Amino acid sequence: AAAEKGGHDYFMLKEIAEQPKAVADTLLGRVDASGALTLDEVRIPAAELREVDKVVIVACGTAFHAGLIAKYAVEHWARIPCEVEPASEFRYRDPILGSRSLVIAVSQSGETMDTLMALRHAREQGSKVLAICNTNGSTIPRESDAVLYTHAGPEVAVASTKAFLTQLVACYLVALYLAQVRGAKWADEIRAVVRDLARMPGEVERVLETMEPVRELARSLAGKDTVLFLGRHVGHPVALEGALKLKELAYMHAEGFAAGELKHGPIALVEEDLPVVVVVPSPRGRSVLHDKIVSNIQEIRARGARTIVIAEEGDETVAPYADHLVRVPVTPVLLQPLVATVPLQVFACELATARGNEVDQPRNLAKSVTVE
């Protein structure tokens, strides 16, 4: 009933709106007064974590996209090589694992069979498994060595939203914790990022307050067949997630690409008035990436694409090439997915509504897939 949905038409809208709280709750109690991380739940001894020589992340669907973003965080902050693989592929290629591999299984439900089979395989090889999970006492955390729970609260809509944002937070926390455990020279940077994370609930809230133009744009595109999504760096998995949301909800052909790959094939798809969503990295820090993506936007626009540009507040260089400009708050480079994903969720949800689709229960999909 309407009360269950907190006054929203769909659970998905309620869950999108709950994201600031979900992010805040997932951070709660995991940082001490000095700004250091206290992840007591990660029961794997620090001595063992210092010996880890490879992190392997396995997950499915939206959780897999969280894993793709986690790779950037693990490699940048903890300086440990990190692989990410769809759980359904993992054990069939006889992956190289050992006692120094740390396997992270990310799952909202904790019941996804593909992810469960991947983690069982990893444990058989002697690897430690850390679960990142939203469901207390579910099978994946029960079979893992340790679990870091995301505190998104129950997620009912099949298309994952708030669970995704909290998976990102949990992944950032694990990456920072690994960095902390493995070397004090990172202490200052860790504290700075932890402070930035604490600001994120407020930033996500600000994004939610500015979504009306995105909804309007979505409605205007209801008759389209295809939407492309481009991104670089952590914006690439964000593009993949934006495309997945659109497939799941709007039943549209949607594809996410690494923007640099555009010229190696996908640009052939660009034709007059094709909507292309571009996730633009911050112009600060990695400005090389920013400049490259600006030229990607110019290339597709010259071929007639209708550009929908997601860019940081204050980034003026993209404005001339954006048919539609969606602003997101300034964040550190690695944390941008927490704000950049939100407009894509709103976009897909509104497009689904405009196309008359069932938002909370898309055709052919299940919230949790308990068969391989």
Q: Which residues bind ligand G6P (CB under 6 A)?
A: 60-63, 107-109, 112, 115, 158-160, 365, 367-369
Q: Give the nearer residue to ligand G6P in terms of CB position, either 58 or 181.
A: 58
* Distance between CA atoms of residues 320 and 100, nearest Å: 50
**Dihedral over Cα of 86, 88, 94, 100: its sign:** positive
Closest residue to ligand G6P, judged by C-beta, is 61
Q: Give the nearer residue to ligand G6P in terms of CB position, either 119 or 228.
A: 119
* HEC secondary structure over 157-207: CCCCCHHHHHHHHHHHHHHHHHHHHHCHHHHHHHHHHHHHHHHHHHHHHHH
For 105, the enclosing helix (H) or strand (E) is strand 101-107
Point out the catalytic residue in the list 21, 54, 247, 367.
Answer: 367
Provide, rounded to whole angstroms, the least separation between the CB of residue 36 and ligand G6P: 29
Using alpha carbons, select from 236, 230, 231, 254 the residue that is nearest to residue 348: 254
Contact status, residue 30 vs residue 38, Cβ threshold 8 Å: yes
Provide, rounded to whole angstroms, the least separation between the CB of residue 197 and ligand G6P: 21
Residue 75: alpha-carbon gap to chain centroid = 16
Q: Give the nearer residue to ligand G6P in terms of CB position, either 108 or 341.
A: 108
Provide, rounded to whole angstroms, the least separation between the CB of residue 345 and ligand G6P: 12
Q: Is 367 a catalytic residue?
A: yes
Instruction: Find all residues with CB under 8 Å of 150, minimum gap 6, and list them.
Output: 22, 26, 108, 132, 133, 134, 163, 166, 167, 169, 170
Q: Give the nearer residue to ligand G6P in terms of CB position, either 1 or 371.
A: 371
Q: Give the nearer residue to ligand G6P in terms of CB position, either 115 or 307.
A: 115
Provide, rounded to whole angstroms, the least separation between the CB of residue 11 and ligand G6P: 13
Q: Give 336's strand partners.
A: none
Q: Active-site positions?
A: 367
